[in-house]
């Protein structure tokens, strides 16, 4: 089990050091800002939605390793997906990180996002991990620029 934990930590650090899609999209159709006051994490999510599909996604922001790596993984997992698929993924991710610690969760295709499954045992970190997803949802819901808060 500790090998698995090490692997997870390595992936989190890798995404933190080399965040994927860490860029502003100049031609974004949807954007939103998110803020987690508990930790000070800030993020802006940029989406290019075409025909109900997330054609491109980027993010910028400052925050802890969990928030940044979660955002990086979020962008990788929703890119090329339909808006409905991305929302379904958010619900699964949210269920995973907010479940009762020590309980199993139904893995239905979260893939790499599973590295954050241990976050449920750290209540202060759940908001760090879910900030990018709340911000994604806010941007999908408001093409004029939305705002997300984990509070």
The residues binding Zn ion (CB under 5 A) are: 39, 41, 64, 67, 128
Helices (H) and strands (E) in the chain, counts: 4, 4
Q: Which is nearer to Zn ion, 64 or 83 (CB)?
A: 64
CB of 40 to Zn ion, least distance (A): 7
CB of 37 to Zn ion, least distance (A): 10
Q: Which is nearer to Zn ion, 41 or 56 (CB)?
A: 41
Report the alpha-carbon distance of residue 124 to residue 133 in Å, rounded: 16
Q: Which is nearer to Zn ion, 25 or 93 (CB)?
A: 93
Report the alpha-carbon distance of residue 62 to residue 149 in Å, rounded: 15
Q: How far is CA 14 from CA 45, 71, 101, 123, in A?
A: 20, 13, 25, 23
CB of 143 to Zn ion, least distance (A): 27
**Which residues is 49 bridged to in the sheet?**
54
């Amino acid at each position: 089990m500790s090998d698995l934990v090490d692997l997870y930590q390595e992936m989190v650090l890798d995404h933190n050091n080399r965040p994927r899609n860490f860029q502003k999209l100049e031609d974004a159709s949807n954007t939103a800002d998110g803020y987690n006051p508990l930790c000070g994490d800030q993020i802006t999510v940029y989406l290019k939605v075409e025909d109900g599909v997330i054609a491109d996604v980027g993010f910028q922001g400052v925050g802890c390793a969990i928030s940044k790596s979660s955002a990086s993984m979020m962008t990788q997992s929703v890119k090329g997906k339909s808006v409905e698929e991305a929302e379904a993924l958010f619900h699964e991710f949210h269920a995973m990180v907010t479940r009762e610690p020590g309980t199993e969760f139904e893995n239905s295709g979260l893939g790499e996002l599973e590295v954050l499954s241990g976050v449920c045992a750290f209540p202060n970190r759940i908001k760090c991990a879910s900030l990018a997803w709340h911000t994604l949802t806010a941007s999908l819901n408001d093409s004029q620029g939305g705002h997300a808060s984990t509070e």
